[in-house]
Structure 1
Amino acid sequence: MKGFPKRGFIFWPVGTGDSTTIVVDKEDGIILQIDLRHMECATEEDDPHVPIIDILKQELPELNEKPHLSVFALTHPDKDHCQGFSQLIKEVTIGELWFSPRIFREYHKDLCEDASAFKKEAMRRVKKTITSKGNVGSGDRVHIIGYDDLLKEEEFEGFPQDQLTVPGNSITELNGEDYSDCFNAFVHAPFKDDSEGERNDTSLAFRIALSDGEVTGFAMLLGDHCYPTVKRIFDRTTDKNNLAWNVFLAPHHCSKGVMYWCDEGEKEETLRQGVLDAIEKAASDPGYIVASSEPIPKSNEAGDNPPHAIAKNRYEEIAPDGFVCTQEHGGKDHPQPIIFEVTTAGLTYWGSQVAKAAGLTSLAKAIEQARGGAAPPSDRVGFGENR
């Protein structure tokens, strides 16, 4: 794990999609991967996207002669959040899966192949956990995020209560071990009634806190949520400390739907400045906003998928220390991962000025080594197109 920070957040250039790596403890090899987008075209020499599975295989610790990932969390099963999972589960041992079952029940007809593979694996683990009365080891663990009424349903009856987290609470265990001294994932969403709305409204939403001694760095990860849910999160969170962020991942890949909205009965969408003010108020020092997307155009046509130039403009107005796009970071031809490290000195952005000293060069070499395949480009959209 030469290129990973000791403890920190990594946002990978995988196009308009999410692949976020949380390094909880580099020395002990404790890694949380939130979402995945691995495109076959990324292995080609001149393709600007990172072959994320190949990089993880090089960087993850080995256990029983196989790369080992502590936890994989799926915010929701749109293709741009789970692409490549079928390959990942074959080539990497995953200690524990995190997911919310509601979306699979509501949207089971149009799951892509990788989403179906995730569902199959997650439900295998659910069944084994129930039959084993919670006594399962790494490779079979699963943690459900949702509400207690889930456990009344037939397929979840008997699932251990302590392996379910209700939004509004925190997860501090990773793959069966307590890391509360350095890790806290506060679950903001989905809300209990979110399954009644659009599929993006079922996204898991976390505020991840990583600590090194008395210093803590915060990352807000809100999946593909749009204005109504983002507003609810900031309005309804009782302890405002759980809204603090150093890194804010722009929801839905820099979609304008976070701050421009048209309510029922209205004729056109308008700017909802209140939600931007709430996001800005929650910013800590330092504070960066990250867009996980293709390069952001100077302007958009009506009906364009994210990223949206108008959203970038609004984020630039409220980001205390800057706005960064994954597919533009380090140059559009050969973008580099956006990395933030948490140390006793604070949260540090591995920007271009500190790249060599921080170890970004070794990651760049790993990315280069992972390329060179002859596989044809894969589709860049699928179930859950960026809309």
Structure 2
Amino acid sequence: MEHTIKYYPVDNGDCTLIKLGNGKTVIIDCQITDAYDKDGKQISYDVKKDLLAELNRDSQGHPYVDLFVSTHPHDDHCIGFKDNFYHGNPNEYDNTSDKGKIIIGELWITPRGMGNNVATSAESIRCEAKRRRLLYDENQSYCGTYGNYLRIIGYDNQKNFDSRYAYVPGTNVKFVNGSFLSLLEIFIHAPFKEDVTDCRETDDKNTTSIVTQFKFKTEDDRVVCRVLMGGDAEHDIWQHILDNNVDDANLQWNIFLAPHHCSWTFFNDSDNKQEILKSAKDILCNGLNNGCIIASSKAIHSYDSNPPCAEAKKMYIRFLDDKDNFYNTATDKIINGIAQPIVFKINDRGKRKITGTAIAGESSISRPAPRAGM
């Protein structure tokens, strides 16, 4: 049984798919644009087509993802959500007008994403999250159903904490979309309450990024790969994570997604490239043997400043056992002039990068489809 993690080439943006060996799926962030120009010529990788090939169908034949994580409400993490993901009760899915739209079994969102001041592309995520929260608020015994589950990640001072739909840093998640995640654990590192509060004063949405460690497991419950992802979290957030962490294993990684599209702000402020802060060193030193770092960004050139940042790339490579284990989604694999996803397969022997042509939807694993409206 193999798991898959796929980093889509979406320029300075994020869109990642996790597909477990038992068929369960997770999408982290969204950057889906038109892959074809007005003349029908392909100009970029067709993310939506690939997602539809990879995702399962529910009992009504509708495509769905078990979990969608919206790390924070910026355009480069939310573009395409409105047109490609279903909004509303799954029972009301229209096979004509909604055809091809992906139902989200469970939605994760930062408290900042629930506010009024979000990027235009994030407004539809906010509306869907508010629709789901209303189901909980109107019925105190309600704990979610397929297509209606919600988790607000981090404490929101503006609303009473409700454990039915809220997670805080330090939570190790093993249940998603109403069922047990036997092959994956998700540890939540951030956002912290003080950062959620401060961002309302500064309007810095990056400070409320959801930071998580994904632990991929075998059927006998062994952890075989750890993946660390942090949206656009900058160095001060990583320092907060280190200050609050009580188990170093939760910060270990075999694969690390460079925050903010390989920006320098993971290492220090943008205007200070002379000093590397201890927070960056500590996080990178938690890399395990033969670790890999992914830059989900445009091609990185020597004249780039931020993001992507050429100096940041050089610094990441310094911390790798093998300098060839730094991969850029824009340049790693090109077919007919089109950048392809970076794909890893994970099994009981660990991770391995797929170097050949990846075939979307190649997994033959199936599982019982959830019923719409469950």
TM range (shorter): 0.7 to 0.9
Residue 234 of structure 1: how far off its partner (Å): 2.7
Residue 110 of structure 1: how far off its partner (Å): 4.9
Name the residue aligned to 1:30.
24
Residue 269 of structure 1: how far off its partner (Å): 5.1
Name the residue aligned to 1:58.
53
Q: Any unmatched runs of 5+ in structure 1?
A: 366-387
Residue 41 of structure 1: how far off its partner (Å): 4.2
Name the residue aligned to 1:92.
102
1:213-249 alpha-carbon deviations (Å, 9 max, x no partner)? 3242111001101111122223431111100000000
Q: 1:135 to 1:186 in 2, by over 3 A?
A: closer
Matched, 1:325 2:328: yes
Name the residue aligned to 2:300.
296
Paired residue secondary structure (1:187): strand
Runs (4+) off by over 6 Å? none
Q: Any unmatched runs of 5+ in structure 2?
A: 87-100, 363-374
Contact 2:54–2:361 at 8 Å: present in 1 too?
no
One-letter code of the match for 2:329?
A: T
Paired residue secondary structure (1:279): helix
1:136-179 alpha-carbon deviations (Å, 9 max, x no partner)? 32011111211275652xxx7xx4x1432111111111101111
For 1:283 and 1:135, the matched residues in 2 are separated by 37
Which 10-residue stretch deviates more, 189-198 or 5-14? 5-14
Name the residue aligned to 1:259.
267
Q: 1:117 to 1:148 in 2, by over 3 A?
A: closer
Which 10-residue stretch deviates more, 141-150 or 52-61? 141-150
Name the residue aligned to 1:15.
11
For 2:194 and 2:118, the matched residues in 1 are separated by 21
Matched, 1:39 2:46: no
Matched, 1:202 2:208: yes
Contact 2:238–2:280 at 8 Å: present in 1 too?
no
Name the residue aligned to 1:382.
none
Q: 1:141 to 1:40 in 2, by over 3 A?
A: same
Name the residue aligned to 1:131.
138
Tell me the TM-score normalized by structure 1. 0.80
Q: How does 1:178-189 map to 2 (within 5 A)?
A: 178-179=180-181, 181-189=182-190
Name the residue aligned to 2:168.
166
Pick the structure with more helix per residue. Answer: 1
Paired residue secondary structure (1:16): coil
Find 1:211's aligned residue among 205, 210, 217: 217
Q: 1:40 to 1:232 in 2, by over 3 A?
A: same
Q: 1:278 to 1:219 in 2, by over 3 A?
A: same
* RMSD (CA atoms): 2.3
One-letter code of the match for 2:261?
A: H
Paired residue secondary structure (2:338): coil
Residue 286 of structure 1: how far off its partner (Å): 2.8
One-letter code of the match for 2:334?
A: G
For 2:233 and 2:57, the matched residues in 1 are separated by 35
Contact 2:261–2:308 at 8 Å: present in 1 too?
yes
Q: How does 1:324-343 map to 2 (within 5 A)?
A: 324-331=327-334, 333-343=337-347
One-letter code of the match for 2:104?
A: I
Contact 1:189–1:203 at 8 Å: present in 2 too?
yes
